[in-house]
Amino acid sequence: MGKKTIVLISFSLILLIVSIIPLFNIIRDYWIEYKINERYEIHHAYRDNQEFAGVVDVSELKVGDMNIKIIEEKTGKKAPLTPWDQDENVPPGDVVKIHLLLNDEEITNPDKIWLSNRHKGSRYFSWLDIIVVTNRLTGEKQINIVQRLTNDNHPMEGREWKIITINQDNDVTERVLKYSKRSDNKLGVKLINFSGTSLMSMGYYSDITKGYPSLLFPFLYPILTGIVGFILLIISLILIYKRRYSY
């Protein structure tokens, strides 16, 4: 094996080594997203009840034969001003505990959220959402209530959400999704992103697909570097084969 071939193989392997993990993460997250979108139809429970889809701003909502109520319990505390509050120059909102009732029966322990006084969005924006999920294979519909449990200033690595699922028989289940273990509940990740309660979009295993794309990333790295590394490795193997069997 000639010196040029060794250099070519070494260079191709370097490109592949630095590209393979991010490429794998990108492909894996896009594949999971594709499979979830293929399996489920997801929309806001109030899309026909509200002028702006994606904004829950009601205290009572009827979905089929299910009546969902949101009751606020005052704590006497004020929430810190967010950058959006400061932009609109609005006073701080109240900190309240949210009671969630299904057909007048409370279905979960109340947790605190920060209310908003902004002119855009809603009282519960980024804290609470109600979503209908339809299984395309079985036709089964579920209502999912997504509530963020950690405040705006909490680091992403420690954030948590509560997902309450109500099936067609009015059976209720509740799961807490932690950012650090989000891959255990991939549909939950999809619902959190869809609801806007994530504050910052997250991936199923990594957040590599959620950054703003640019020429450098991911097109030059890791996609182009991975392709070039693979092509150079193939060329190197062809050269080795030809050298070995040319005599």
Q: What is the pLDDT of residues 210-237, one digit of tens each?
A: 876 676 788 888 999 999 999 999 998 8
- How many Å apart are CA 173 and CA 179, to the nearest integer? 20
Contact between 68 and 100 under an 8 Å Cβ cutoff? The reply is yes
* For residue 246, pLDDT beyond 90: no
| pLDDT greater at residue 54 or residue 44 | 44
pLDDT band at 55 (very low <50, low <70, confident <90, very high): low
Contact between 84 and 101 under an 8 Å Cβ cutoff? The reply is no
pLDDT of residue 72: 95
pLDDT in tens, 61-95: 888 888 999 999 999 999 988 777 788 888 888 99
Of 50, 178, 64, 198, nearest to 132 by C-alpha is 64
Q: Average pLDDT for residues 53-63, to the nearest whole number?
A: 72
- How many Å apart are CA 147 and CA 98, to the nearest integer? 10
pLDDT band at 53 (very low <50, low <70, confident <90, very high): very low
Whole-structure pTM value: 0.86
Contact between 100 and 164 under an 8 Å Cβ cutoff? The reply is yes
Rounded to whole angstroms, the maximal C-alpha distance in the chain is: 88
* For residue 166, pLDDT beyond 90: yes
